[in-house]
Amino acid sequence: MKTLTVIVLLIFAFNELWAQPASYHGVVRDKQTGEPLAGAMIVAGSENVLSRNDGRFVLKNTNGTTQSLIVSMTGYQTDTIAITSPHKILVVVLERLPKLLTDVVVTGTMKTVQKTASPVPVEVYTPQFFRKNPTPSIFDALQLVNGVRPQLNCNVCNTGDIHINGLEGPYTMVLIDGMPIVSSLSSVYGLSGIPNSLVERIEVVKGPASSLYGSEAIGGLINVITKNPLKAPLLAIDVNTTTWKESNIDVAVKFRPLKNTVALLGINYFNFTNRVDKNDDHFTDVTLQNRIALFNKYSFGRRNDRVANFAVRYVYEDRWGGDVRWSKAFRGGDSLYGESIYTSRIEAIGNYQLPTAEKLLFSYSFNKHSQRSFYGTVPFNALQHVAFGQLTWDKTLGRHDLLAGAVFRYTSYDDNTTATFDTLTKRNKPDHTPLPGFLVQDELTLNGGHTLLAGLRWDHHPIHGHIFTPRVAWKWTATPNDIIRLNAGTGFRVVNIFTEDHAALTGARAVVIKETLQPERSYNVNVNYVKKIYTAACWLNIDASIWYTHFTNRIIPDYLTNPNQIIYDNLKGYSLSKGASVNIEFGFTQSLRGHIGATFQDVVIVNKDASGSKERKRQLLTEKWSGNWSVSYTFPKGGWSVDYTGNIYGPMLLPLLSELDPRRPTSPVWSIQNIQITKKLKKGIEWYGGIKNLLNWTPARNNPFLIARSHDPFDKKVGYLPDGSIDPAPPNGDPNPYKLTFDPNYVYAPNQGLRGFIGVRLTINQ
């Protein structure tokens, strides 16, 4: 009996042990390089995990009956691995797909599609691309993108915008998760307040996109897509500093506040308080900044995988530039010159898929932007509220992929300039602009690899009335490795000078607006060709485009007619932007990879003079050609990698004060190049360091000065002759042989020379 009892107990114990969950350990590696792959998705039945930074993973809750694992990762072929024993460490080797083959884009059509399937050419850039040259903001990071140039607009406060194909910043719409969150007032400073740790990818569309996104998308758009909390690492930290004493901290944390809710919190802090004056003009070479940005995004689990996301962002920045002796005690005074800007901004964005049989998605955003600033003695205080709502219907009917939507955007704007001043009542009159719209789009799949897209958007402006912006696109997939796209469309933009053009507020020039400004319109056509070449030893992607854009009613500041004025008026003629660009990406099995890009463009203004004759001239601050590159090599062993990046720009016309101005009328050919070394350690840690601006190039080279009359920024010593012209030898004894006034707007490139940097990253995926 005792023997039987023991046998029964042993059987029960054996069954209990047999029923215990089996744990599977494994590692995911790149087939070509052998490097561990972080973030690969491993699925076993109902359980799924992500591989850690060292490529390892553990499945703990399987019941021992699982026969296989499915392993997938963006950019690699999905593999199914048979399980032979739970005690054996599984080594999963994934084969890399051709570059960008599986990139997903949403910007071109407001639909999630593969990049190769989109009839609209969209460029996609990941955080790994921008890590080749680490920067504290997206504004600086975009210098690596071909045809995109971060442009500084002032030597004192370093305000900036993004040029696409030679067009100024106001022609570029900036989106966050598809929402027009960066409004005109914040376009000057808003790009510096997005935590890099939360960026999933950046999508760039070159050319008008107003048929989908409305005003401001007249020249192109940049869509900053943040990470999905479900797929984000548990913790990501990036800390770096430079020899100029710039410090940047980026932190992202994933957590679960509720059972079916995953949240991602991002914090960015940037500090630069080191007064540097290497060109000896007694003004700061780089604006001092103290900025903090918080971003919190929530993803809600719902039935049938319906979408529900909500995010909120807060940005506060205190920046100033000017006389190196300046302090806040001099803010707004005329003793020491300084440009001081306090920016406070809060945003909310989200989307919610309605619980209906039809696919209806409601997207919304709200932002409040407050700016309190002084440009010398000139105050500029502004407050803007923008509310946005959009309901879209997505439907597939046979070969037709339909999208329709109703849009409403409401903007409230108030400042202390003439932009919101009623000259009749002599009272302040804030601007309230409701802008309803409707869009419709049909993407038709035809035989022979052809796709045809047609779209139309209608907007109603309270002053300018009905505005229609149609577009059409055609894509032909001649072979799996040859794609041709043809796009044509229109765009429009309603202008607010004081929120978009920093020159209207700084310096001593008077602002002259000749008449009521009409909306700018554009008509664009571009052709895009993509060629993919694969061999056993390497892959090569060629992406080439040519474009032609015709503008009417364009508003361009005139600096040349009167050196004491900036004159704004709609062109009586037209403006043209035409050119060609090519991006070449390559990679070798020996871990050598990179890209080379080049853009050739001609941006001209054709206007009529007093006699009616046409005058043709190049646009200021626009290069005829540019190029950029990045080359990276990953060593097979040791976790070491090297990145060499750079860009080069051709000459551009610069804004001089007069024919006597001794500064160069055109910029030289200039280049900024960088090198970085990265070392990957265990447990998700890596450190990096290098040198920025290897050539130590600054715009002060071969120029007598950058800021005109920096010793007299309030023009107290400028004398005038009876005819109103500037006296070259005034009685006060301050010679002015070039007949200049204070002017900080002669700027076209960063005024920051060679500097070293070092940083460390920590990533924990589980």
Side-chain-side CA neighbours of residue 522 (13 Å): 32
Helix (H, G, I), strand (E, B) or coil at 19: helix
With CA atoms as reference, report the closest residue to 453 among 423, 434, 474: 474
Rounded Cα distance, 77 and 520, in Å: 47
DSSP 422-457: ETTTTEE--EEEEEEEEEEEEEEE-GGGEEEEEEEE
Rounded Cα distance, 193 and 137, in Å: 7
Tens-place pLDDT, residues 114-151: 888 899 999 999 888 999 999 998 888 889 999 999 88
Q: Mean pLDDT across the chain, nearest whole number?
A: 86
The pLDDT score that the predictor gives to residue 571 is: 74
Residue ranges of the chain assigned to CATH 2.60.40.1120: 2-94
Residue 98 above 60 pLDDT? Answer: no
Tens-place pLDDT, residues 329-352: 999 999 999 999 999 999 999 999
Rounded Cα distance, 151 and 502, in Å: 12
CA angle 639-640-642, nearest 5°? Answer: 145
> Whose structure tokens read 């696919």?
359
Count Cβ atoms within 10 A of the Cβ of residue 422 and give its class: 0-12 exposed, 13-18 middle, 19 or more buried: exposed
Tens-place pLDDT, residues 52-81: 766 788 877 555 555 677 887 766 777 777
Rounded Cα distance, 34 and 15, in Å: 40
Query: What residues contact residue 154 under an 8 Å CB cut-off, 6+ apart?
Result: 339, 502, 503, 506, 744, 745, 747
Residue 188 — very low, low, confident or very high, per pLDDT cuts 50/70/90? low
Cβ contact 695:673 at 8 Å: yes
Cα–Cα distances (Å) from 138 to 12, 185, 491, 664, 735, in that order, read: 62, 18, 25, 30, 43
Tens-place pLDDT, residues 282-325: 999 999 999 999 999 999 999 888 999 999 999 999 999 999 99
Query: What residues contact residue 40 under an 8 Å CB cut-off, 6+ apart?
Result: 28, 50, 51, 55, 57, 71, 72, 73, 76, 92, 94
> Whose structure tokens read 């998308």?
217
Report DSSP state, residue 105: E
Report the percent of the chain where pLDDT is more than 70.
86
pTM, two decimals, is 0.83
Average pLDDT over residues 667-684: 95
With CA atoms as reference, report the closest residue to 321 among 368, 354, 386, 274: 274
The pLDDT score that the predictor gives to residue 100 is: 39
Tokens of 471: 């577009």
The CATH class of 226-708+743-764 is mainly beta
Rounded Cα distance, 700 and 285, in Å: 10
Q: Give bridge partners of residue 550 from the DSSP assignment.
A: 523, 576
Average pLDDT over residues 381-386: 90
Query: What residues contact residue 329 under an 8 Å CB cut-off, 6+ apart?
Result: none
Residue 10 above 90 pLDDT? Answer: no
Report DSSP state, residue 732: T
Q: Based on DSSP, count helices (H) and strands (E) in the chain, helices before strands.
A: 5, 45
Average pLDDT over residues 374-403: 93
Tens-place pLDDT, residues 211-220: 888 877 888 8
Rounded Cα distance, 374 and 336, in Å: 12
Average pLDDT over residues 175-203: 75
Residue ranges of the chain assigned to CATH 2.40.170.20: 226-708+743-764
> Whose structure tokens read 């043709």?
616
CA angle 714-715-720, nearest 5°? Answer: 160
Residue 4 — very low, low, confident or very high, per pLDDT cuts 50/70/90? very low
Helix (H, G, I), strand (E, B) or coil at 14: helix
Report the 10 Å Cβ neighbour count for 4.
Answer: 8
Average pLDDT over residues 726-744: 90
3-state helix, strand, coil in the chain (%, to 5): 10, 55, 40
Rounded Cα distance, 315 and 347, in Å: 9
Instruction: Classify strands 510-513 and 565-568 as parallel, antiparallel or unpaired.
Output: parallel
Residue type, 406: A
Rounded Cα distance, 453 and 443, in Å: 4
With CA atoms as reference, report the closest residue to 598 among 659, 663, 648: 648
Q: CATH topology for 2-94?
A: Immunoglobulin-like (2.60.40)
Residue 724 above 90 pLDDT? Answer: no
Tens-place pLDDT, residues 191-201: 666 777 788 99
Residue 508 above 90 pLDDT? Answer: no
